[in-house]
Amino acid sequence: MNAKLRSTISKIAFPAAALLLLILLWQGICTFGRVPKYMLPSPADVWAAFQKDWQLMFSHARVTLTEMFIGLFIGIAVGFLFAVIMDRFSVVNKMLYPLIVVSQTIPTIAIAPLLVIWMGYQMLPKIVLIVLVVFFPITISLLEGFSSVDADTVNLMRSMGAGRLQIFRYVKLPNSLGHFFSSLKISVSYAVVSAVVSEWIGGTEGLGCYMTRVRKSFSSDKMFAVIILISVISLVLIWLTSALQRACMPWDKIHLRRSQKI
């Protein structure tokens, strides 16, 4: 068994063992601890609730994912635009950077009701909230990536007659990809949570609306089932982001292999 296969098995085996231990502990507490089902349903009860309502959950999940992806793509575009402008113009950077930081000190749960009042109960306020949450880590990470380029490399490009656009394309943009994907992993999870939170406040479809309904009916087994579904969705999106990073940054994978050999 080679080292790569052993590493892959260990990455899967240890988290799987920890998850199995957690489920067994949870089941044991529910079975022998005499905890009421309305307070803590057992894993078996949660699985039964998921099997019973999985079609309805996935129908609501489709709406939540639609909101999430639209808001995520717009947030990435806005964050990229802000980062480019702030990197190009230092005056704009000094003006906008404090405002961007301050914007993130306002809790999303406080913004969501205002967006619903201003924009109604449709998809628009959910998308706007996701954009407000996503663009911050994207902007800050890209700005850091742009500013952390090697000065000697930039000077070499200038000495060879490269313009600003060429320096940005061949030096700054590749240098910022690692920062971008690190923030993207955070943003996709934030986007899912923001979509669910906005659906709590107002709406007729989505996992947040489903959670509100089952909570009011004291169906804690369904509540746990949808919470686990949201967690699984976030994990899958983070994994897809990592796969996209490996595809877009093959040189990073080569560098990692060389460092492991050393």
Provide the mean pLDDT of the chain.
85
CA distances from 67 to 71, 104, 144, 174, 230 (A): 6, 20, 28, 29, 14
pLDDT at residue 4 greater than cutoff 70:
no
Report pTM: 0.84
143-151: average pLDDT: 87
What pLDDT does residue 165 have? 86
Examine the pLDDT at 169 and tell me if it is beyond 90.
no
3-state helix, strand, coil in the chain (%, to 5): 85, 0, 15
pLDDT of residue 230: 92
pLDDT, tens digit (0-9, with 9 covering 90-100), for 24-76: 888 888 888 777 777 888 888 899 999 998 899 999 999 999 999 999 999 99
- pLDDT tens sequence across 206-261: 898 899 888 888 888 899 999 999 999 999 999 999 889 888 887 765 444 543 44
State residue 77's pLDDT score. Answer: 95
Nearest to 72 by CA among 125, 138, 140: 138
Neighbouring residues of 21: CB distance < 8 A, sequence distance ≥ 6: none
Cα separation values, 50 from 189, 192, 226, Å? 22, 20, 8
- Please report the pLDDT score of residue 30 as a whole number: 83
The 10s digit of each residue's pLDDT in 94-119 is 888 888 888 878 887 788 888 888 88
Return the domain boundaries, the chain.
47-250
Helix (H) or strand (E) segment spanning residue 208: helix 207-216
- On the question of pLDDT at 133 being above 60, the answer is yes
Residue pLDDT, tens place only, 65-103: 999 999 999 999 999 999 999 988 989 988 888 888 888
Which amino acid is present at 239? W
Fold designation for 47-250 = MetI-like fold (1.10.3720)
> Residue 190 CB: number of other CB atoms within 10 A?
21
* 237 against 120, higher pLDDT: 237
What was the pLDDT predicted at 139? 92
pLDDT for 253 equals 58
